[in-house]
């Protein structure tokens, strides 16, 4: 009884690590491009296409995306398709734990995960045009006070990369080790079907 996890490419390492850690040999991972986050309105259609293509081949399909900027459209689409997805507004929330993240109410924080610390240039700096127009930094990030690195792993190189990103953005740096947060329990829930 195979389960397919349709995930954001930004979660590939974490999902694969959880599959290995928990011995979920019946789970398969299919990742959609991580750069869909640059155009979140495209996420629901991409998820739907993947679900439709996989129907009948798996006993269960679970969507490893939170809302991710879709304004509730992804949740509505998943409901209409009859598949479950991770709860929460985005991966920053479920990595920290949705309840803990909501309780903090940090509206002046910019977040990085392990993936974004690793891919800061490709997913933040260049897409925002800051490589060519660094003067836009204060326009984009002037209302932020700190960069919070939500670390899934203990990796000094990633911490240094996140610190460098904070310095580049002119923000105070804070690191929080979250591990996989609610991702593991969401996948386990999707695995059990309860």
The per-residue pLDDT for range 171-180, each reduced to its tens digit, is 999 999 999 9
Residues 29, 62, single domain; the answer is yes
* 109 shares a domain with 87: no
Q: Total structural domains in the chain?
A: 2
CATH (domain of 57):
3.40.50
pLDDT at 7: 96
8 A C-beta contact, residue 94 and residue 178? no
Q: Are residues 48 and 113 in the same domain?
A: no
More confident residue, 55 or 188: 55
pLDDT greater than 50 at residue 194 = no
In tens, the pLDDT along 12-44 reads: 999 999 999 999 999 999 999 999 988 999 999
Question: Are 127 and 50 members of one domain?
Answer: no
pLDDT computed for residue 192 by the predictor: 54
Residue 131 to residue 168: CA distance in whole angstroms? 11
* Largest pairwise CA distance in the chain: 54
CA distances (Å), 180 to each of 13, 42, 91, 151, in order? 11, 26, 10, 9
Task: Give the predicted TM-score (pTM) of the model.
Answer: 0.88
Distance CA 23, CA 167 (A): 39
pLDDT digits (tens, 9 = 90+) for 62-120: 999 999 999 999 999 999 999 999 999 998 999 999 999 999 989 999 999 999 999 99
């Amino acid at each position: 009884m195979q389960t397919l996890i349709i995930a954001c490419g930004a979660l590939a390492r974490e999902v694969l690590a959880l599959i290995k850690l928990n011995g979920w040999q019946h789970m398969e991972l299919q990742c959609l491009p991580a750069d869909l986050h640059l155009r979140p309105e495209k996420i629901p259609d991409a998820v739907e296409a993947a679900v439709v293509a996989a129907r009948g081949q798996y006993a269960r399909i679970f969507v490893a995306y939170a809302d991710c900027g879709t304004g509730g459209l992804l949740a509505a689409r998943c409901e209409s398709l009859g598949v479950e997805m991770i709860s929460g507004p985005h991966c920053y929330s479920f990595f920290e734990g949705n309840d803990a993240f909501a309780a903090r109410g940090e509206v002046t924080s910019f977040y990085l995960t392990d993936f974004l610390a690793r891919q800061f240039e490709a997913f933040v700096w260049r897409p925002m045009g800051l490589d060519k127009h660094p003067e836009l930094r204060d326009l984009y990030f002037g209302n932020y006070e700190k960069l919070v690195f939500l670390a899934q792993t203990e990796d000094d190189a990633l911490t240094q990369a996140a610190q460098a990103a904070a310095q580049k953005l002119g923000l105070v740096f804070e690191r929080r080790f979250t591990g996989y947060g609610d991702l593991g329990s969401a996948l386990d829930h999707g695995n059990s079907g309860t």
